A and B are shown apart, each in its own frame.
Chain A
Amino acid sequence: DAGVTQSPTHLIKTRGQQVTLRCSPKSGHDTVSWYQQALGQGPQFIFQYYEEEERQRGNFPDRFSGHQFPNYSSELNVNALLLGDSALYLCASSPRDRDVSPLHFGNGTRLTVT
């Protein structure tokens, strides 16, 4: 079991551009959550997807959007990139049919905006 996989591992973009990050959940998991982790900070919740819909959202602007596919994989899209969007983006998956399921995290995508 490969666990949660994310691609790419690193990405460099220019301010104003758009970026798409990808995540495949752990086998048997149907729920995907995305987190942003700035340097020296703990992860911050962006949003959660299950059944191909956004179910919960953190305090992030509409420039951050996502998608979940029928195979449970997910994408995070960020439009009009700002320098402050530079961070490690973590994907986490869990099965939805368990109480307070512990999250399984991927290794993250390091996004640098110049």
Chain B
Amino acid sequence: AQRVTQPEKLLSVFKGAPVELKCNYSYSGSPELFWYVQYSRQRLQLLLRHISRESIKGFTADLNKGETSFHLKKPFAQEEDSAMYYCALSGSSNTGKLIFGQGTTLQVKP
């Protein structure tokens, strides 16, 4: 079964601390993995995708096929990083069908 699991509903850290939002997936083929973010009162938007191998707003994520994970990391959290983060999987190219995890709320305290 295709599934995305985000084990933490809430992650609370202090400003300047490292952040790791966990994402594990279950998929039999070669998926594309994404992180989407929703800031307060804003729409859901793409943060990064594994095929781009970019660092966006200081966040990075490495696809580990052996562990079927795509954890999101940032070395030093900022208060403006506080948001809801969703890990998502796409099973084939050129598709609007994403499988989302349940989301993790990141709270960065001053």
Bound state CA distance, A102 and B32, in angstroms? 11
Interface residues on B, range: 20 to 34
Q: Is A43 within 8 A of B44, CB to CB?
A: yes
Instruction: Give chain A residues whose Cβ lies under 8 Å from the Cβ of B95.
Output: 48, 56, 100
Bound state CA distance, A110 and B56, in angstroms? 30
Q: Is B32 within 8 A of A100, CB to CB?
A: yes
Query: Whose C-beta in chain B lies nearest to the C-beta of A102?
Result: B46
A40 near B: Cβ within 8 Å?
A: yes
**Closest CB in chain B relative to A51 CB, distance in Å:** 13
Q: Is A42 within 8 A of B102, CB to CB?
A: yes
Using an 8 Å CB-CB cutoff, how does the interface string of A74-114 with B read, 1 for contact, 0 for none? 00000000000000001010101011111111111000000
Q: Is A90 within 8 A of B46, CB to CB?
A: no
Question: 6 more A-B contacts (CB under 8 A) besides A3-B43, A45-B99, A101-B94?
Answer: A42-B101, A56-B97, A94-B96, A101-B96, A105-B44, A107-B43
3 nearest A-B pairs in the assembled complex, by CB-CB distance:
A33-B96, A42-B100, A105-B44
